[in-house]
Chains A and B, each alone.
Chain A
Amino acid sequence: MSIVVFTLIVLIGAFLAGFLGSLTGLGGGVIIIPLLTLGLGVDIHYAIGASIISVIATSTGSAAAYVKEGLTNMRIGMFLEIATTVGAILGAVIAVYLNAAYVAVIFGCILIFSSLMTLKKKVDHSTLEYTSKSAKFFKLNGSYPVKGVDTPYAVKNVAGGFFMMLFAGTLSGLLGIGSGALKVIAMDNIMRLPFKVSTTTSNFMMGVTAAASAVVYLHRGQIDPGIAMPVCIGVLIGATVGAKVLVKAKTDKLKIVFAVVVTILAVQMIYKGLSGGF
């Protein structure tokens, strides 16, 4: 395949990955990796390196808007970034020693889990019980605008959230994805933040988390300019268009269709991993 053809195919694929990733809330990273490995036969090491770059591009782009709207809790973000960056570096280092087949199998499992999470109905767990001592110490309790009214919320179980973030960071570094699904679990279910705060704060942290593992991948030579270039351009444009469409479209049915497609991809990744295809 010539470089021009390869670049064009990856650019289109990355656009679709970014578009669907933003419509469904899965993120572009989890889609671009199977696309590159299963679809184009790219070595999973290169796919992960390119994907982590696209995670930085999309999350940083959208974080810019959320931060300005005052939805992001920057203190929670910075505090939990200690956990996610340590995890991300740990994950990226583990990836160096782990067989590519195992990486593919773990990736498939996380993919299935993430797609199930997008189907689950979201329940708001937010609370006003200011009981957590560590939340008070770290000044994590905050407020966010709901229809223009400043609405306060309390944060619970800081230690539990911190450890879940360590895990989320490790998977992000290991697989080259944003692991938004796990980050949101840590903040929604464990720390009891309101949705809008947890999703936007998760997004805010993703860039730093991905940057921490991206530097490990860079030194390893896994970030190849020929692949990372079309991947990050395509995913970023796709995600931007997706975010615009999302405001208008009803995505419930699309989510189901997409969850099925993603699960098929995931099963293929696992099968190929187990049968020694990587």
Chain B
Amino acid sequence: MEQTKNITDRDIQSLVGNLLRVGVYLSMGIVIIGGLIYLFNHGNEKINYAHFDLDKVSLKTVAVIFSEVLTFKGAAVIQFGLLMLIFTPIARVLMAVVSFFIEKDYLYVLIGLIVFAIIMVSLSGGFAH
């Protein structure tokens, strides 16, 4: 009994480890591609970040980023990559929930779902205003 439990725990660890690694590589790859497009198209323009301007920013919701990324504008591709990076640890939470479910550790299924719910409420934008 103890033996099978250990094997499952190790399996979860290796699965989660792989997910995190792939998530970081993939999203950073997208950010780099977006960065190159951005620099190629806008590299010589002047910028000023001295004052935070709420009206200047447009790529700030998941829906907008997903629709804008198809235009292949540099900024949108970068933002898409950053969003994938944000999603990586969130996906990890979900994966752990599934693993704990298979392991029949329902207490941790619940705990994982609570963490996921907290982030989802935040992602829906309810706290930003």
Chain B window 56-76, contacts with chain A (Cβ cutoff 8 Å), 1 for yes, 0 for no: 110111000000000000111
Q: In the bound complex, do residue A57 and residue B90 qualify as a contact, i.e. CB atoms below 8 Å apart?
A: no
Q: In the bound complex, do residue A212 and residue B118 qualify as a contact, i.e. CB atoms below 8 Å apart?
A: yes
Chain A window 51-80, contacts with chain B (Cβ cutoff 8 Å), 1 for yes, 0 for no: 001001100110111011010101100110
- Cα–Cα distance between A227 and B61 once the two chains are bound (Å): 18
**Known A46-B52, A78-B111; contact A226-B38, beta-carbon cutoff 8 A:** yes
Shortest C-beta distance, B79 to chain A (Å), equals 5
Q: In the bound complex, do residue A60 and residue B49 qualify as a contact, i.e. CB atoms below 8 Å apart?
A: no
Shortest C-beta distance, B101 to chain A (Å), equals 13
Q: Which of B24, B60, B118 contacts A61 (CB 8 A)?
A: B24
> Interface size (B, Cβ < 8 Å)?
66
Q: Determine if B104 is an interface residue (Cβ-Cβ < 8 Å).
A: no
CB neighbours (8 Å) of A214 from chain B are 86
Complex interface: stretch among A2-10, A107-115, A118-126, A262-270 = A2-10
Q: In the bound complex, do residue A218 and residue B13 qualify as a contact, i.e. CB atoms below 8 Å apart?
A: no
Q: Which of A1, A42, A89, A236 contacts B122 (CB 8 A)?
A: A89
Shortest C-beta distance, A257 to chain B (Å), equals 30
- Cα–Cα distance between A178 and B49 once the two chains are bound (Å): 23
CB neighbours (8 Å) of B31 from chain A are 229, 232-233
- Cα–Cα distance between A41 and B51 once the two chains are bound (Å): 9
Q: In the bound complex, do residue A220 and residue B128 qualify as a contact, i.e. CB atoms below 8 Å apart?
A: yes
**Known A42-B49, A43-B51; contact A229-B85, beta-carbon cutoff 8 A:** no
- In the complex, the chain A residue whose C-beta lies closest to that of B74 is A225
The 8 closest A-B pairs by CB, nearest first: A221-B57, A219-B128, A207-B89, A225-B78, A68-B17, A64-B20, A45-B52, A64-B21
* Additional 9 contacts, C-beta under 8 A, given A67-B20, A224-B57, A228-B82: A43-B50, A64-B21, A81-B115, A82-B115, A89-B118, A89-B127, A207-B20, A211-B90, A218-B83
Binding site for B on A (CB under 8 A): 1-4, 6-7, 40-46, 53, 56-57, 60-61, 63-65, 67-68, 70, 72, 74-75, 78-79, 81-82, 85-86, 89, 92-93, 96, 138-139, 207-208, 210-212, 214-216, 218-230, 232-233, 236
Subset of 13 A-B contacts with CB under 8 Å: A60-B20, A61-B20, A64-B21, A72-B13, A74-B12, A74-B96, A82-B111, A139-B107, A218-B61, A225-B82, A226-B38, A227-B49, A229-B82
